A = this chain, B = another copy of it.
Amino acid sequence: MTGSQDQLTVGLLGAGSVGSQVARTLVEERELISARVGVDVRLVGVAVRDTEAPRDWRIPGELLTTDAEELVDRVDVVVELIGGMEPAASLITRALSRGAAVVTGNKALLAARGAELTAIAAEHGAPLLYEASVAGAIPILRPIQESLSGDRITKIMGIVNGTTNYILDQMDSTGASFDSALLEAQRLGYAEADPTADVEGHDAAAKAAILGNLAFHSPFTIDDVHCEGIREVTAGDIEAAGASGYVIKLLAIAETRAGDDGESGAVLRVHPTLLPRHHPLASVRGAFNAVFVVAENAGELMFYGQGAGGRPTSSAVLGDLVTAARQLRTGSVTAPAGPSAQQALPAMSIDQALTQYYIDMTVEDREGVIAEIARVFADHHVSIESMRQPGAVSLEGEVEATGDDGVTVQIVTHVAQERAQRDTVEALRTLQVVESIDSVIRVDVDR
Contacts and interface: CB of A to CB of B under 8 A. Distances in A.
B150 A33 contact: yes
Interface residues of A, number: 63
Interface in A282-324: 283, 295, 297-306, 311-312, 314-323
Contact of A148 (B148, B152, B295, B319): B319
A326 interface: yes
Interface in A108-144: 131, 137-139, 142-143
A137 B298 contact: yes
Contacts of A333: 330
A151 interface: yes
A29 to B, nearest CB: 8
Contact of A335 (B300, B330, B341): B330
Nearest to A280: B304
A37 B338 CA distance: 8
Contacts of A312: 297-299
Contact of A334 (B143, B149, B320, B334): B334
Given A150-B36, A332-B332, A298 B315 contact: yes
Nearest to A24: B297
A38 interface: yes
A336 interface: yes
A373 to B, nearest CB: 37
A327 interface: yes
Contact of A38 (B35, B147, B319, B337): B337
A331 to B, nearest CB: 7
A32 interface: yes
A66 interface: no
Contacts of A297: 21, 25, 137, 311-312, 314-315, 318
Contacts of A148: 139, 315, 319
A21 B296 CA distance: 12
B338 A38 contact: yes
B33 A138 contact: no
B139 A319 contact: no
Interface string A422-438: 00000000000000000
Most buried by B among A137, A146, A151: A151
Contact of A323 (B149, B152, B283, B301): B149
B305 A36 contact: no
A340 interface: yes
Contacts of A280: 283, 304
**Highest count of chain B CB atoms <10 Å: which of A143, A340, A343:** A143
Contacts of A336: 326
Contact of A147 (B142, B150, B338): B142
A149 B319 contact: yes
Contacts of A314: 297
Contacts of A317: 150
Contacts of A305: 298-302
A149 B37 CA distance: 9
Interface of A: 21, 25, 29, 32-38, 131, 137-139, 142-143, 146-152, 280, 283, 295, 297-306, 311-312, 314-323, 326-327, 330-338, 340-343
What 4 A-B pairs are tightest by C-beta distance, nearest first? A150-B318, A332-B332, A139-B147, A298-B315
22 contacts: A29-B152, A35-B337, A35-B342, A36-B337, A36-B341, A38-B337, A137-B297, A139-B143, A142-B146, A143-B143, A146-B319, A146-B323, A149-B318, A149-B319, A150-B322, A151-B318, A280-B283, A280-B304, A283-B283, A298-B311, A330-B335, A334-B334
Given A150-B318, A151-B315, A302-B303, 15 more contacts: A34-B340, A35-B341, A36-B149, A137-B298, A147-B319, A150-B320, A151-B318, A151-B319, A280-B283, A283-B283, A297-B311, A299-B305, A327-B334, A330-B334, A332-B332
